[in-house]
């Protein structure tokens, strides 16, 4: 089970978390993967930044972090008990370590790696506290630090998990626990791991999801695993309720469909987490932390069912810019495309959509609107594109809409129906693309038509 930061923000949420754990414990052993207490990761990042500045000013942040945790410790652990004492000592020691780290950073400005080490304290503190709390209530629970079991590359800040090594480490460490009667709950901090040479790394924001998936992946050959993600939503919806008031919960969805949804901006889970779970072929559930026993939740599995229309969800990205570069026919576009995309890549521009006409004299791509100015000057200042051979056009008023569904693969005529539906409703389609997986069909339209397009497509395919 994965519990995020808002499941661990105060006395009440800690108690609620434990009530959920208690219920599930009747049926199986549990591995709990937890985030930092709500807001602490941001504060630790701020602390790292401040420590890098000349005038060290991070002490105040550490005071706040100490205060936040000790308040919860006082509320949930019985005063004068060994649990209380141990946890206060653990907190003090870790804040002291952070303080020392801050001073080292301030003095010698070491490499950026230390940011990962610093932010990992958030998960370490929250998870240790939850584990102690469970023990104080009579559960047999054990804390395992993630640097012992999650192995990653050295891409600090956004490290990539090494699956085989992680699998070995998890099995070595967790299997004996699961098989012994002295432990019923394993508590593992999310978000961080370590490199082969034992440097702490983090898995990117929201990385606790990924930790949970990695642990289940590693144990899949020996246990029947399922991952439950406790979230502040009930699961994946078939359309954004802000855009269409008919939104319905998707109760069952395949990993490939969930990945499409994630790509188009439905951020329910860390993106890599879906890949790892699909690979591991175990089910996942998204459930509401605030309504834990409702039968409304999303199950994600490897297999998908073909439904009537083949369309499961309509999604969109609202604020985008469409860039078209056009050349005379003398310029060969293969070279142009590689030059273009290298230039964008080197400058960290994310591309959400690409299309090229068959006459090969223009390429259209779509980027986040915030990147529009940057891309415009990159292109105009580049020796290749800035010269007279190309014309560059940027339209900052477009949105992307996508219809998604694995059943599309078997259903002819989807594209035709999309065009007819949009056409009949006066929505002008500026560009189209279909993923080669045939799981999504994407259209670029004018932003003023975005809401209308979502609603008419919803009615045509789902509603």
Calpha distance 236→269 (Å, rounded): 10
Residue 36 near which of ligand ASP, Mg ion, none (CB within 5-8 Å, type-dependent): ligand ASP
Strands 141-143 and 185-189: parallel
Q: Which is nearer to ligand ASP, 230 or 264 (CB)?
A: 230
Report how many residues bind Mg ion under the rule CB under 5 A: 3
Residue 286 CB, shortest distance to ligand ASP, in Å, is 14
Tokens representing 94 are 């870790």
Residue 324 CB, shortest distance to ligand ASP, in Å, is 36
Residue 235 near which of ligand ASP, Mg ion, none (CB within 5-8 Å, type-dependent): none
**In the bound complex, which residue of the shown chain has the CB atom lying closest to ligand ASP?**
208
Residue 280 near which of ligand ASP, Mg ion, none (CB within 5-8 Å, type-dependent): none
Please, which residues bridge with residue 322 across strands? 366, 395
Q: Which is nearer to ligand ASP, 190 or 310 (CB)?
A: 190
Q: Which is nearer to ligand ASP, 132 or 202 (CB)?
A: 202
Contacts of 206 (CB under 8 A, 6+ apart): 267, 269, 270
Residue 5 makes contact with Mg ion by CB under 5 A: yes
Residue 12 CB, shortest distance to Mg ion, in Å, is 18
Helical segments of 220-332, H only:
255-263, 271-280
Calpha distance 95→75 (Å, rounded): 20
**Cβ 340 vs Cβ 385: under 8 Å:** yes
Q: Which helix (H) or strand (E) holds 252?
A: strand 252-254
Which residues in this chain contact ligand ASP in the complex, by CB under 6 A? 4-5, 35-36, 41, 122, 190-191, 205-208
Q: Which is nearer to ligand ASP, 39 or 435 (CB)?
A: 39
**In the bound complex, which residue of the shown chain has the CB atom lying closest to Mg ion?**
5
Q: Which is nearer to Mg ion, 35 or 201 (CB)?
A: 35
Residue 331 CB, shortest distance to ligand ASP, in Å, is 44
Closest to 185 in 3D by CA, of 239, 131, 125, 148: 131
Strands 440-446 and 429-434: antiparallel
**Cβ 32 vs Cβ 185: under 8 Å:** yes
Residue 190 near which of ligand ASP, Mg ion, none (CB within 5-8 Å, type-dependent): ligand ASP
Residue 4 CB, shortest distance to Mg ion, in Å, is 5
Calpha distance 422→431 (Å, rounded): 13
Residue 33 CB, shortest distance to ligand ASP, in Å, is 9
Q: Which is nearer to Mg ion, 17 or 136 (CB)?
A: 17
Calpha distance 14→10 (Å, rounded): 6
Residue 283 makes contact with Mg ion by CB under 5 A: no
Residue 35 makes contact with Mg ion by CB under 5 A: yes
Helical segments of 301-413, H only:
333-346, 372-381, 383-386
* Residue ranges in contact with Mg ion by CB under 5 A: 4-5, 35
């Amino acid at each position: 089970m994965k519990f995020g930061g808002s499941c661990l923000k105060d006395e009440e949420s800690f108690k609620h978390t434990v009530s959920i754990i208690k219920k599930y414990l009747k049926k199986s052993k549990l591995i709990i993967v937890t985030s930092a207490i709500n807001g602490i990761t941001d504060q630790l990042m701020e602390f790292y930044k401040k420590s890098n500045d000349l005038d060290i000013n991070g002490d105040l942040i550490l005071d706040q972090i100490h205060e936040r945790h000790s308040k919860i410790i006082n509320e949930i652990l019985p005063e004068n008990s060994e649990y209380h004492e141990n946890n206060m000592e653990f907190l003090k020691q870790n804040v002291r370590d952070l303080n020392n780290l801050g001073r080292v950073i301030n003095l010698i400005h070491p490499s950026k790696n230390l940011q990962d080490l610093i932010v990992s304290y958030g998960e370490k503190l929250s998870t240790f506290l939850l584990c102690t709390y469970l023990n104080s209530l009579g559960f047999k629970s054990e804390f395992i630090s993630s640097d012992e079991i999650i192995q990653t590359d050295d891409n600090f800040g956004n490290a990539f998990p090494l699956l085989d090594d992680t699998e070995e480490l998890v099995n070595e460490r967790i299997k004996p626990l699961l098989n012994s009667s002295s432990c019923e709950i394993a508590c593992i901090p999310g978000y961080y791991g370590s490199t082969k040479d034992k440097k702490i790394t983090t898995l990117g924001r929201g990385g606790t999801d990924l930790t949970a998936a990695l642990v289940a992946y590693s144990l899949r050959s020996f246990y029947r695993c399922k991952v439950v993600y406790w979230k502040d939503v009930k699961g994946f919806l078939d359309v954004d309720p802000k855009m269409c008031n008919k939104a319905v919960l998707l109760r069952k969805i395949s990993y490939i469909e969930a990945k499409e949804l994630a790509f188009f901006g439905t951020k329910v889970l860390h993106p890599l987490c879906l890949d790892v779970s699909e690979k591991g072929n175990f089910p996942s559930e998204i459930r509401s932390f605030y309504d834990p026993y409702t039968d409304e939740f999303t199950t994600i599995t490897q297999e998908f069912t073909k439904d009537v229309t083949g369309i499961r969800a309509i999604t969109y990205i609202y604020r985008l810019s469409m860039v078209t570069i056009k050349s005379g026919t003398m310029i060969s576009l293969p070279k142009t495309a590689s030059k273009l995309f290298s230039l964008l890549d080197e400058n960290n521009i994310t591309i959400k959509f690409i299309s090229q006409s068959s006459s090969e004299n223009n390429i259209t791509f779509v980027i986040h609107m915030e990147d529009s100015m940057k891309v415009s000057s990159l292109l105009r200042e580049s020796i290749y594109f800035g010269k007279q051979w190309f014309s560059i056009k940027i339209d900052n008023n477009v949105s992307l809409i996508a219809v998604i569904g694995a059943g599309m693969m078997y259903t002819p005529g989807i594209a035709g129906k999309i065009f007819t539906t949009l056409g009949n409703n006066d929505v002008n389609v500026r560009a189209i693309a279909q993923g080669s997986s045939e799981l999504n069909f994407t259209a670029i339209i004018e932003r003023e038509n975005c809401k209308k397009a979502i609603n008419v497509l919803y009615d045509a395919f789902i509603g």
